[in-house]
Amino acid sequence: MNTAPCIVFLLLLLPALESMAEPYTAPFWLPGGNLQTIYPAKFVKLPKVEYRRERWELDDGDFMDVDWVDNDDHSQPLVVMFHGLEGNSHSNYALDLMAALKARGWRGVVVHFRGCSGENNRLPRAYFAGDSADIDMALSRIRKSTPNTAVYAVGVSLGGNALLKWLGESGEHAGALIDAAAAISAPMDLAATGHALDHGFNLMVYTPRFIETMRPKALEKARQFPGLLDEEKIKSAHTIEEMDTYVTAKLHGFIDAEDYWAKNASKPWLMSITLPTLIVNARNDPFVPAESLPAETEVSASVTLEYPEAGGHVGFVTGPFPGHLDWLPQHLIEYFSSLGLRTPHSESAK
């Protein structure tokens, strides 16, 4: 038996396997979850990404904007990203992943949740952490336009929870639309994250920045649909719980923030996921308490849990000062690559 081809194949595969096996380690000069969250969001130099924007007119009369990163070879995989709370295609994590995909020869697309692309949406609704219907709609639309190549989905923070919830609810159906998924810094227990954001340092530093962008859009929605929302309560809100009670819950049919958090958390759905799914959450994430993270016994055999001790919330800076954000995008690409490319989707689905 000629073993030479096998040896050559293993040697070629070794760098990818080593990259996948390499755990995240925070640089010594960036200690603690808060610094590891704030520094990459504000100070790490980001790559320039050239997007092609496409507007989807939806059946309900609303619209969603998606930003594509194109490559000439359409046989290469496509990675779909769902951003976090008040994020968009120019968030640091989106730019870094899209640039890495472009360099790899893959394609990427950032799906903006309603109202997050720079223009408020038209309907008396917005986006929320468990919007499975919009996840399904977006991935169905993308799959129809990309029938014969691998499609992978990545959800970050709020987008990660929404993606995981959709994966669990969809079961086998998810496999008709995507080949694998990953969730980064996902608040799988929404109540734990909501309460964490409304206390201590979080309430002083992070929550005001979220509300700073949420409030104007909520007030615009209130004026767009008189009587739907209470403008005075929106103006006085200073916690995530208040904003989710006065706005998110009101717009999407929930009683209050606690009801919204309980009914949209992805954690109860993780046992129902059937596709290969990677979940990466730092144990020092200031938004997601470590004790709220699911154990191996709370997820299906298709789910891989990675809980590095450090990294912050969607941080994961590496290298000497001033650092870079290469670890996470390369880790995601190598995870998807390690699964192997399936046969063309249109054929495998027959």
CATH code of 297's domain: 3.40.50.1820
Q: Point out the catalytic residue in the list 91, 157, 170, 337.
A: 157
Identify whether 136 is a catalytic site residue: no
Identify whether 59 is a catalytic site residue: no
Last residue of a domain, one of 264, 297, 319: 264
Domain residue limits at 300: 21-187+274-340
Q: Is residue 154 part of a domain?
A: yes
Shared domain for 120 and 234, answered yes or no, is no
Q: Is residue 215 part of a domain?
A: yes
Identify whether 157 is a catalytic site residue: yes
Q: Point out the catalytic residue in the list 112, 195, 313, 345.
A: 313
Q: Is residue 16 part of a domain?
A: no
Q: Is residue 220 part of a domain?
A: yes
Shared domain for 179 and 292, answered yes or no, is yes
Q: Is residue 11 part of a domain?
A: no
pLDDT tens across the length of the chain (350 residues): 454 444 333 333 444 344 445 789 999 999 999 999 999 999 999 999 999 999 999 999 999 999 999 998 889 999 999 999 999 999 999 999 999 999 999 999 999 999 999 999 999 999 999 999 999 999 999 999 999 899 999 999 999 999 999 999 999 999 999 999 999 999 999 999 999 999 999 999 999 999 999 999 999 999 999 999 999 999 999 999 999 999 999 999 999 999 999 999 999 999 999 999 999 999 999 999 999 999 999 999 999 999 999 999 999 999 999 999 999 999 999 999 999 755 444 444 33
Q: Is residue 8 part of a domain?
A: no
Q: Point out the catalytic residue in the list 285, 331, 337, 345.
A: 285
For residue 62 the two structure tokens come to: 């609303």
Q: What is the pTM of this model?
A: 0.91
